[in-house]
Amino acid sequence: MTRIAGTLTNFEVYPDAAESRRRTAKVARSSGTYWFEFKGQRTEFGSLKDLLSGGLRALEEARPGTLEKLSQIKPRSKRVVARDSKQLFDKEHLAEQFSERLADGWWYGTNNSKFETEAWLARACACSGLTWGMDFKTNLI
């Protein structure tokens, strides 16, 4: 193995490395406290992934059909919710790594930045007919 200016060249990928990445990809990264307020109640989460899934579930529960409408939105190469995890991303290996079951019959993409999480929740509010920042808000703004 040779190190050149901080990068590695001539490296090997061990057979179990891909499996290890798959297992660790499902672990929620916790980098703070996140919350949403809905119907006068604040709900806190330890990760962006959990904030997104909790917010999507709350909106769907309050306004059935929100996930169906949201599943039709695909800005570039991914959508946030789908009936089949393979529909979340353009590349199948991303669906294997970054999707989890959200609710009965629904999957969601877990690989979202703070900006993307906020954007997806705002879109979900619009799909549900609620006003972002008024009816539903987070501390991401």
**What is the predicted pLDDT for the residue at 12?**
33
Q: Identify the burial level of 51 via C-beta atoms within 10 angstroms of its C-beta, where 0-12 means exposed, 13-18 middle and 19 or more buried.
A: buried
Q: How confident is the model at residue 88 (pLDDT cuts 50, 70, 90)?
A: confident
Whether residue 93 is predicted with pLDDT greater than 90 in this model: the reply is no
Predicted model pTM: 0.74
Q: How confident is the model at residue 61 (pLDDT cuts 50, 70, 90)?
A: very high
How many Å apart are CA 116 and CA 114, to the nearest integer? 6
Domains recognised in the chain with CATH numbers: 47-141 (1.20.1380.10)
